[in-house]
Structure formats: structure tokens, C-alpha cells
Amino acid sequence: MSSAKEILAYIRKEDNTRQSTALDFLSGYQGNLAGTGVDVTDAEAVAALASGTPAASVVLAATCIKDAVNTWASTASGAQDIYLPPAVRGDHLVIDITGELDDATAACTIKCVGAVGAASNVYAKQVIGTNTGGIAGSAAETGGTAAAPTSVNLIYTPAAAATNFLGPGTMIHFYCPKDNQWLVNCRAVPKGTGATGAFTVS
């Protein structure tokens, strides 16, 4: 059996790790993300929605990996889904948008639920977005209350134009402050004027 000293040392280490990942999330730092992320193509994300109730393999191909930078090569060619993994306190991951989200006005959804083991996930009560002055839709408030949040989908709907506020190079950070809840920190790289596009939740 572990000694009390060993147990306390473990607890301190765990707390320090969680504090470190929280600071990385807030600052946008990626250097501690040691995992190998998934590269979700536009076609994979479209397939994850188009099949209605997608097969497990289809969902897996569009599910992000925690402790990693994941890429999303979406062009918004059609409505599509990408999934977050189960949220465990201290988890941190990034979605790096590498595609041009401007082929069409197709809803691009980042889903909390749907991946294996993620049935209880929600977005924590928060405002998600860029808070860019003068751009309607650049931020959205999640549903429910701080004690009982309800939103499970973060939806970005672009314009079919090279002026969307989520352009290639955008980094969206996700952090779990409490089991089954995700916080979002969007670090956007706009295209052109960055005056189009909208966040909604459901």
C-alpha cells in the first residue's frame, strides 16, 4: 500500500498537471500537447453527418484526440460534424482549422456527444467566440446554467465568401475543468475582412 506521503505527492503532481493544462488552454500554448492528433478531412466530416446515424468507424475518423493538436481540413462543402472525446478533468486539445471554410453556407458542427464514451459531455456555461466588435454572430452564449449546462453542439456557419472570421490557421482550444464539461478558447485567424460567419449553439 502507498504511504500517505506518496499519496500526497501524487495529488500535488495531479493538481500541478491540471494547473499547467489550464494555463496552456488560456494562453493558447501547444508545446505540452504530446499526443498524435487526428487529421479530419472535409469528406470525413461530411460523412459523419450525412449518414444520419453514422457507423462507429465514421465517427472515429472525425473524433479528436485529447492531449494533441488535431487538424480539420474543412471547406464547408456540405453540412458536417466533428466530435470531441470524453471530457475528463484536466484534458486539453486543439482543433487547427487548415481548410478554407467558404465553399458554401454549410453548418460545421463540433459535437460534444456522439463519440465513444462521450454521452454525458456538454459545453460548460460560457460565451464562445471571438468577441470581435461589430460582427454579429462572432460569439454565442451556451445554454443552461453554470450548475446545469445544456449545450452539446458548437456550430459555425460560414458565408460562401473569403471573408469569414474563422480562416485557415484558426486554433480552437478545448479544456475540461470538470468531468464531462468542455470550455472553449477560440483563437481566430480571419479571412479578408473577417466580417462574415456566425457561431450558434444547441
pLDDT value at position 137? 86
Distance CA 165, CA 145 (A): 28
The beta strands (E) that lie in the chain are given as 39-41, 69-73, 80-83, 92-97, 108-111, 122-123, 127-129, 139-141, 153-157, 171-178, 181-187, 198-201
pLDDT value at position 72? 97
pLDDT value at position 6? 56
Domains in the chain, number: 1
- Cell 456555461: give the residue: 125
Q: How many beta carbons lie within 10 A of that of residue 169, not counting itself?
A: 13
Domain that holds residue 171: 4-201
pLDDT value at position 133? 66
Taking only the tens of pLDDT, the chain with its 202 residues reads: 445 555 456 445 556 666 788 999 999 999 999 999 999 999 999 999 876 778 899 999 999 999 999 999 999 999 999 999 999 999 999 999 999 999 999 999 999 999 999 999 999 999 999 876 667 888 999 999 999 999 999 999 999 999 999 999 999 999 999 999 999 999 999 999 999 999 999 9
Distance CA 154, CA 129 (A): 10
Q: Which residues of 185-194 are buried (b: 16+ CB within 10 A; e: fewer)?
A: bbebebbeeb
pTM here?
0.90
pLDDT value at position 130? 86
Q: Beta strands 69-73 and 92-97: pairing type? A: parallel
